[in-house]
Amino acid sequence: MLAAGDSFVLPGLFADAVRVAVPGAVVRELKLPWPDQPFGEIAEVSEASGTENQLIEALSGCSALVSQLAPVTEHVFENAPDLRFVGVSRGGPVNVNLDAARERGVVVVNAPGRNAIATAEMTVALMLAVTRGVPAAHAGLAAHKWQGELYRFDCSGIEIAGTTVGLVGYGAVGKIVARILMAMGAEVLVYDPFVAEDELPAGIERLDNVDALFLRSGIISLHARLTPETHGILSGERIALMPPGGFVINAARGPLADYDAIVSALRSNHLAGAAFDVFPDEPVDFGHPLFDLLDSGANIVLTPHIAGASQQVARRAATIVAGEFARFLSGEPLRYRLS
């Protein structure tokens, strides 16, 4: 097996997990340059790291591959004739040509939900940071300023307890966020056309109309998958439906939100704040007006797409695909098979 890791899911984490799941497995390690170098499109796949030729050379004689970001393209499949199993330690295997895998009878598995807990916790952290103005307060002290004025009524934030929070999407991440917010005393509303009313725990209200969710919510948090239907679901028109002084949070996918509309709503003070871990373009375009607002002191909290990054996630991802490899070898049904 080739364990093609990177500086997040380390090659050694893959190798250790495989050796535990399959004692005696012979594992070769390769380290890809992400995140020190951004991932990107390689041939027909995306969000990939390293090169096709580097991967082909490392796969020589290997029947299995586990990786998070290796570029498993048609060219790689053509030049790795021994390959029979690919374990992708992420939810969206966009770095693998699944059609090429199917044509060659190569089994591909993924690791859905690996980062749900980390992303949910980060979402709540962003929510707390922006609703209580934590970054600005920290920046003042870092600049040796005692900002007593932050105790003014018009400068103080809001509590999550008693606030109506609307969740767009109720998948693996949304469920955890909802549970945390309910424990904090929030009123939680959910819009997700794929979730039935009886699937929700007591105390959470499901709405059939996304506009109604915006009308009633002081905080909107995005947790939907990116599809043609959800692209731009956080639009200027829907922001205008929110009560004045609301907040928006996005730690899911950048294109779910219209960032130009959010900037306009922040400038007009219709929105009191916004927090983002994801952006329409990554790495970000620092020329976007969002960063002009940030420089002017607007209540914006930004992080560079790190919500899903925790040490537990890296270990969990390696363990999931190693377990699938063990089931593959023993002929057991696979839990997360894609091809």
CA distance 162 to 100: 52
What is residue 32's three-state secondary structure?
Answer: coil
Count other Cβ atoms within 10 Å, centred on residue 200. 17
d(CA 125, CA 127): 5
Judge whether 159 counts as a catalytic residue: no
- The residues pairing with 268 across neighbouring beta strands, listed in sequence order, are none
Nearest-5° angle of CA 205, CA 208, CA 209?
A: 110
Q: Does the active-site annotation cover 288? A: no
Asked if residue 283 has a cis previous peptide bond (ω within 30° of 0), the answer is yes
User: Which residue out of 84, 305, 315, 327 is catalytically annotated?
Assistant: 305
Question: What is the amino acid identity at position 144?
Answer: H
- Which one is catalytic: 187, 253, 316, 324? 253
User: Measuring CA to CA, how many Å separate 229 from each of 86, 97, 206?
Assistant: 31, 24, 19
Two tokens at 168? 């767009």
Strand ranges of the sheet holding 2-5, from the earlier edge strand across to the other edge: 28-31, 2-5, 64-67, 85-88, 107-109
Q: Where are the alpha helices (DSSP H) in the chain?
A: 11-21, 52-58, 74-78, 98-103, 116-131, 134-142, 172-184, 210-216, 236-241, 259-267, 289-295, 311-330
Catalytic residue among 282, 288, 315, 327: 282
Counting every residue written for the chain, the total comes to 339
Question: Does 305 participate in catalysis according to the annotation?
Answer: yes
Q: Closest Cα partner for 221 from 263, 186, 194?
A: 186
- Annotated catalytic residues are 253, 282, 305
